[in-house]
Structure 1
Amino acid sequence: MALIRLNFMAQSLHRTVPLLVCLPTDKVDAQGQTPTGPFKTLYLLHGMLGSEVDWVSGTRIQRWSDERNLAVVMPAGENGFYTDHNWSTDLYSQFIGQELVAFTRRTFPLSIKREDTFIGGLSMGGYGALYNGLRFHQTFGAIIMLSAGLLVGPGMEKLPAKPAWFAETAAYQHHVFGSDLAAVSQSDLNPKVLIERLQAEHATLPAIYMAIGNDDDLKPVNDDFDQFLTQHQVEHVYETGAGNHEWDFWDRYLLRALDWLPLDSKVSGLNSGHIN
């Protein structure tokens, strides 16, 4: 598995951004063949306080994607919740759903088929994967949400009087979602509103995989969203298990999510980090 670090100029963010890509182009199978693509692709979004290296550091994604001939693209989302900040010209959603896909497809041998293109994330990135997977449903065929931060909805404007950390402050919430938090819950930034609109338009929604730990504080909002998806007959899988908001859980359930995706059968081989 080739691990590629690069920087490129993102017009939607008005700056040069880092990117980490896993690409199985250096693997040699038992017949001496090297995969050439076009590869099925998973765009993986990190959580709050994280960076583009989190998935490689915290999970075994590099090994698992190599086994499945899966390309994995890991961008830096900073703490922006992967939404468009029109008030500051940081268009994270446009970056994820359009520019990043276009750049990686013209730079690497990636499939351009919707059914071969997936998006996933954890916590803040779980919300980002859901929102952008739905918004750009013509691009992404499946969505993976691990311990998703599904915090956009009615009542989100009622912030704590004494915030425990920066993400609970009015300054951060307005920076990410805009000045009128009450209106956000009625907008497409609320995944429930977005799904209802897309269903009214008879759009084809991506399949959804959700997982969360039983001890995670975000479990109630994920339980609620599972019920919403069931009521609206949206294709999805929801799994829970032992664990909290932690890498041990995400590592285990990322593997389960990969098994859920329509990927190639495992193919072992000689590569840059593993001899089998």
Structure 2
Amino acid sequence: MSVGRVEERTYYSQALKRTQPFSVYLPELNRNEQLPLLILLHGRGGSHRDWFEQTRAIRYLAGYYLCVVCPQGDDGWYTDAFDGSGAYETDLIACLIPHLQATLPIAPPGKAWAIEGLSMGGYGAIKLALRHYKLFGTAVSHSGAFDITQSTHPHPVFGDLQTCRRFRRQHNVYALAEEALCRYPYERAALWIDCGLQDELLASTRRFHNHLHFIGYGHEYKEEPGYHTWPYWDRAFRAALPWVAQRVGAKSVGGRFK
């Protein structure tokens, strides 16, 4: 099993008007080939370093030819804020992704691209895959904060429940999943959703899972023992990785990990 390397890089974000950092994992390649891409999103209060510093993701990824990119999302919910104070969706879609395509050996978007995240990033992964279905064929959420757009309290990104109702609906994963069913099946991202049994977001995760089941949006769903903490997310990432790798067509290097 050959372990790849993690690098910290930067790009200039026209959306945020500043230089943004990101972390990237690249496997060791013996030949020139395009790699499937996994964009891995951090949670609220986190950073682009979290996944590689807080979990054994590098060890797990050593079994696959897969490029993994972790953006810096701050607390922006991977969304362009209602009042223009932050443009984190545009940053990722229109600034980071073109930079990745220009600088990394990655496959074209669509089936070979996946997006995954935890908590705020779990919401972001599902939301972005539903809104940008031509980019991402697969999305994974661990402990996703799916009810954020339905909060009755004013929010710095999503605004007030009443005055920003239309804006909130545009970023509501329940509504976006319904809209996705109006498209052809090949224009819908495959979804994986999981949550820990002791997680405070379990109830909201179950609500979204039940909604998907009710409207007929097929998806993978898992509940396992665990809290809203890194030990759970480490195990959840490991559990979802073979499914993601198969979906995006990531070749195995024949390695096994325990």
Determine if the TM-score, normalized by the shorter chain, exceeds 0.5.
yes
> What are the superposed Cα offsets for residues 47-87 of structure 1, whole Å, 9 maximum, x if unpaired?
01100000001112222223201100001000111111252
Q: Structure 1 residue 254 and structure 2 residue 240: aligned? A: no
Per-residue CA distance 1:230-269 (angstroms, 9 max, x = gap): 1222121000111000111111110111111214353158
Which residue of 173, 183, 197 maps to 2:165? 183
Structure 2 partner of 1:166:
none
Per-residue deviation, 1:90 = 2.1
Q: Which amino acid aligns with 2:215?
A: H
What does residue 104 of structure 1 align with? 100
Kept in 2, the 8 Å contact 1:177–1:184? The answer is: no
Residue pair 1:126, 1:145 contacting (<8 A) in 2 also: yes
**1:13–1:89 contact (8 Å) kept in structure 2:** no
Question: Which structure would you say has the larger Rg?
Answer: 1
Q: 1:4 aligns with which of 2, 7, 13?
A: 7
Kindly indicate whether residue 190 of structure 2 is the aligned counterpart of residue 194 of structure 1: no
Q: Match of 1:216, SS? A: coil
- CA-based RMSD of the aligned residues comes to 1.9
**Between 86-95 and 240-249, the greater mean CA deviation after superposition:** 86-95
CA contact (8 A) 1:41 1:111 kept: yes
User: What is the CA–CA distance in structure 2 between the aligned matches of 1:200 and 1:141, rounded to whole Å?
Assistant: 16
Determine the C-alpha separation between the residues in 1 that align with 2:99 and 2:18. 15
- 2:157 partner SS: helix
Which residue of structure 2 lines up, in the alignment, with residue 133 of structure 1? Answer: 129
Q: What TM-score do you get using the length of structure 2 for normalisation?
A: 0.89
Which amino acid counterpart does residue 257 of structure 1 have in structure 2? A
Residue pair 1:96, 1:132 contacting (<8 A) in 2 also: no
Deviations 1:117-145 (A, max 9, x none): 00000000001111111111110000010
Deviations 1:148-202 (A, max 9, x none): 0112354x12x3xxxxxxxxxx4xx1x2112445615861211111122232344
| Distance in 1 of aligned mates of 2:90 and 2:181 | 22
Report the Cα distance in structure 2 between the residues aligned to 1:195 and 1:246, rounded to whole angstroms. Answer: 27
1:15-71, Cα deviation, whole Å (9 max, x unpaired)? 1100100011x35xxxxxx14330011000000110000000111222222320110
Superposition map of 1:78-89 within 5 A:
78-89=74-85
Corresponding residue for 1:49?
Answer: 45
TM-score, structure 1 normalization: 0.83
| Unaligned stretches of 5+ residues in structure 2 | none
Q: Secondary structure at the match of 1:44?
A: strand
Measure the CA separation in 1 of the matches of 2:188 and 2:12: 31
Q: Secondary structure at the match of 2:200?
A: coil
Match of 1:214 in 2: 197
Does the 8 A contact of 2:82 with 2:158 survive in 1? no
- Which AA in structure 2 matches 1:192? Y
* C-alpha contact (below 8 Å) 2:149/2:169 kept by paired residues: no
CA distance in 2, matches of 1:177, 1:153: 7
Flag structure 1 segments of 5+ consecutive residues without an equivalent: 28-33, 160-169, 270-276
